[in-house]
Amino acid sequence: MIKNYLHKSLSVHFSPNIINMKNFLPIILTLAMSSTTLSVSGSTPESANTSANTSASASAPASANAPALGGKHLKHSIIPEPQVVVPLDGAKFKIDSKSVIVAIGCEEMNSATFLKSYLQRYYGVDVVVVDKLPARESDRKAISSVIQLNLRQLAGIDPMPNFGYDLSDLKREGAYHLQVGAAQATLTGANPSGLFYAIQTLIQLLPVPADQNITAITPNSATASSAKTSISGNSLYLPQILVVDFPRFEYRGMHLDVVRHIYSVDYVKQYIDYLALHKMNYFHWHLTDDQGWRMESKSHPLLNEIGSWRAGTIIGIFPGTGVDSTRYGGFYTIAQMKEIVEYAAQRYITVVPEIDVPGHSMAIIATYPHFSTTPEIPKQPAITWGIYNRQNNVLAPSEEVFKFLEDVFNELMDVFPGKYIHIGADECAKKWWEESAKTQEFMLKYGLKDENELQKYFAKRIADIVHARGREFIGWDEMLDDGLVKGAVVMSWRNVENGIKAAELGHKAIMTPIKYSYFNVAQKRDEDTLCHRAWFAPVDSVYLFEPVPADVPASVAANIIGGQGCMWTEYFPHKQRLEYGIFPRFSALAEVYWTLPANKNWPKFQLKLVDQFDRYDLWGANYSTEIFRSAGFDRNRY
């Protein structure tokens, strides 16, 4: 699956999959401690001399001197790994009910609200948010610690030697600086999203688990460690640290298919929170497919009466052992979709909605049979998966169909204000067009020499609709087979090469190759749960994936704007199953698209997962523990 991985500081080859931690632990610990972390004793760098380095109170409890986050081995377990991390010596920073967050503007207040809510929800610590510190000295003395939120240019922070960044990196969208001292934590964003990401890093410095008696809602809660807690009463203690950070890629996303199985508005929000906590900024929402139409349509309400519901669902792995008789479906109202858009925007996440055409259209043609190349044959929303090239699910070209597409894509853009609109354009079986006399007449009339040109024509007509609204359109990499329409953004799922090819042609490319990025496939060789078992994507394959191979010229690499993971839900009907599929691969992917390659460290990442799994428990999330079985070590020990 992946090439042997040779760490620059290690003289042995790791296996293509999981390192056996019991055999390599001494070496792993050496690498993990030497990754991107610079330990500082005594004096700090000149750029670190801020008011945060004030002396601690004289009576800090014993828990304030507990080992740093990550147990006895790691100074921190931040995921994704920041570009520069400098642990600082000194007494720990305390957060309690007497702490204040200082936020002077609307954007600062947005980030402050997220942090306040997180502390209250997961730790029961209620901090105060203010726009300035009190004027009276007696009131200031009553404050135990200050979390100062700032928005300003980071140009004044001098680049530190040998860390591989310059001042231009500090101007990127999402760049931030964080310093935790004894009595003050200062978080500075180069822009609002950067400040929000500084909040996420501060959150990952919080001790886990939140309570020694915490009980998660999953069966895995029994494995949670309570040895690393740094909590005393209602006080939290964080290590002193300096972080300078910015994202490698501009597009860092996760996808969710709500067609095969639909998820509640509340859970979609929880999923978006998972993105936010991993510093991801695009949520790709797959809203239509053969099995259902999941967005409310005012212009075509029959889509919701007919297309949003299927008569049953396949049992087991395709081709299945039968079909249940339970009517299944639903859709999101316009109000609900707008609510989700706003929720995501508060977390600096853009929703990328998808209407998948001209293939994957069974829900549409079940509603409007005359949109099919075989209108005389009755159809219904698909009750099974895998109908590509087996059942006729393609739209027939006609001006009525294109008017329909104009209506629904404009409805989509009325709800979703983001710059990217996904049009699908994948897995469109050409044989249904070849066999249709009316389709052949349309092609002759419009001068289309073959079915590939017809699919490109579909993409061009939809592109015109999207471009007329000032947006950009994304499509799956099958668009390359037909010839790319001007302005197409290619989402490369079949392999890495198609993304590179699109970039070479001058198009933006988003990487999501199936064998590194699809979380509905097996994550262990002996997978016994429902999933696509023909593919295998263990967590190390995800983590070690490099979106821009070394031999790609810089001019081409500039067009690869990032990537995402995909969660198709054929075999993931509820929260526990879905989260088993995404975690911890989701966390590995976050580091792929945020962290510069020189700062990634697979041995260290494995150790960071010990704390990350405690965070999953804290969030009430489910997960796969395969990484620990394969690597041969106990998450409670390290």
Helices and strands in the chain, H and E counts = 21, 24
Res. 19: pLDDT tops 90: no
What are the two backbone dihedrals, phi and then psi, of residue 310, each rounded to the nearest 5 degrees? -115, 155
SS3 call for 150: strand
Question: Mean per-residue pLDDT for 563-579?
Answer: 97
Region 302-306: mean pLDDT is: 98
Strand partners, 165: none
> Residue 630's pLDDT band (boundaries 50, 70, 90)?
confident
Fold of 40-245: Chitobiase; domain 2 (3.30.379)
pTM of the prediction? 0.88
Averaged pLDDT score across all residues of the chain? 86
How much of the chain is in helix, strand and coil states, percent to nearest 5?
35, 20, 45
**pLDDT (average), residues 594-617:** 95
User: CA angle at residue 79 from 73 to 84, to 5 degrees?
Assistant: 80
Across the range 602-608, mean pLDDT stands at: 95
DSSP codes joined into one string, 233-259: TTEEEE--EEEEE--S-SEEEEEEE-S
Q: Which residues contact 342 (CB under 8 A, 6 or more apart)?
A: none
Q: Are 566 and 535 in contact (CB under 8 A)?
A: no
371 vs 225, residue with greater confidence: 371
Please say if the pLDDT value at position 11 is more than 80.
no
Helix 451-468 × helix 399-415 angle, to 10°: 40
Q: Which of the following is catalytic: 273, 339, 406, 427?
A: 427
Task: Give yes or no: 427 in active site.
Answer: yes
The Cα–Cα gap between 630 and 636 comes to 15
Q: Per residue in 393-441, pLDDT tens? A: 999 999 999 999 999 999 999 999 999 999 999 999 999 999 999 999 9
Say what the pLDDT of residue 475 is: 98
- Band (pLDDT 50/70/90 cuts) for residue 1 is very low
Catalytic site includes residue 614 = no
User: Hey, what amino acid is at 19?
Assistant: I
Closest residue by Cα to residue 28 from 599, 603, 598: 603
Q: What's the CATH fold of domain 251-594?
A: TIM Barrel (3.20.20)
231-271 pLDDT, tens digit per residue, is 545 899 999 999 999 999 999 999 999 999 999 999 999 99
- Among residues 81, 245, 289, 626, the one annotated as catalytic is 289
Q: Of 76, 177, 286, 360, which residue is the catalytic one?
A: 360
Q: Hey, where are the domains in the chain?
A: 40-245, 251-594
Q: Would 40-245 and 251-594 be classified into the same CATH topology? A: no
Q: What is the mean pLDDT of residues 279-304?
A: 98
Instruction: Please tell me the predicted confidence (pLDDT) of residue 632.
Output: 81
